[in-house]
Amino acid sequence: MLDVLHRSPIRCARFTNAGRFSARFLGHMLALTLAISSTASAQTTGAGYNALTPSLAANAKTMHATIRKNLADAAQAMPPDEYSFRPTPEVRTFAQLIGHVINANWFFCSQAKEDKSPATTNYEQLTDKAALVKALNDSLAYCDDVYSATTDATFSRPVQMQGGLGLAATSTVRGAILMFNTTHNNEHYGNIVVYMRLKGHVPPSTASAGQPRK
């Protein structure tokens, strides 16, 4: 393939015109890849092997504690004027991303608890940082109580999960919902990391990676 490119009479015109753009594009993509990979090990796995115990309930609680801190710290660290930032027109703003996480925390944790969600607002519609930070902390505190109240005995308790957030109703168990919530939070924290890196901020998981674990 390289030989073909070197022999091609149109190679110089095509690649000379696109060379600078391609170099810049590849540079940006490499930076994003490094940013994502450098923080991936510091999300749920930031808890270290402390999360790996025979107790499924304890595992869920430990992993939730790690990601909930990263989410709360990230929301607090992002400047108010950058809550309207979106990397491309097709994706959520930072405010909408935080609002989506808030909605999901209320939904999943109330479903695991088999209780009606206390939330009465679609938080993706909020734009104010202070309001979103408070709502995020409130939703995480609600989830804290649900994770803490979960034991190995109740982890496998059958739950009829209602439909919501674009998901159909289903029969499952309490622990599966809590693990789904943790996975969902990690997924969107990965998005948050990219938003923060693009604006020149160090994500909380990276900032704490060099600190000794307790």
Determine the pLDDT at residue 159.
Answer: 96
Determine the pLDDT at residue 74.
Answer: 98
pLDDT for 156 beyond 80: yes
CA-CA distance, 188 to 100, in Å (whole number)?
Answer: 9
Give 114's contacts (C-beta < 8 A, 6+ positions apart).
159, 174
- Residues 23-46 have a mean pLDDT of 42
- To the nearest 10°, report the CA torsion of 62, 64, 66, 67: 160
Positive or negative CA dihedral for 172, 173, 175, 181?
Answer: positive
Residue pLDDT, tens place only, 160-202: 999 887 888 999 999 999 999 999 999 999 999 999 999 999 9
Sorting pLDDT into bands at 50, 70 and 90, what band is 110? Answer: very high
Determine the pLDDT at residue 23.
Answer: 39
Give 154's contacts (C-beta < 8 A, 6+ positions apart).
57, 174, 175
- Residues 127-143 have a mean pLDDT of 98
pTM for this structure? 0.76
Fold classification of 41-206 (topology level): Four Helix Bundle (Hemerythrin (Met), subunit A) (1.20.120)
Query: Taking the domains of the chain in order of start, what are their residue ranges?
Result: 41-206
Residue pLDDT, tens place only, 45-100: 565 666 677 899 999 999 999 999 999 999 999 999 999 999 999 999 999 999 99
Determine the pLDDT at residue 112.
Answer: 97
Sorting pLDDT into bands at 50, 70 and 90, what band is 134? Answer: very high
Determine the pLDDT at residue 211.
Answer: 58
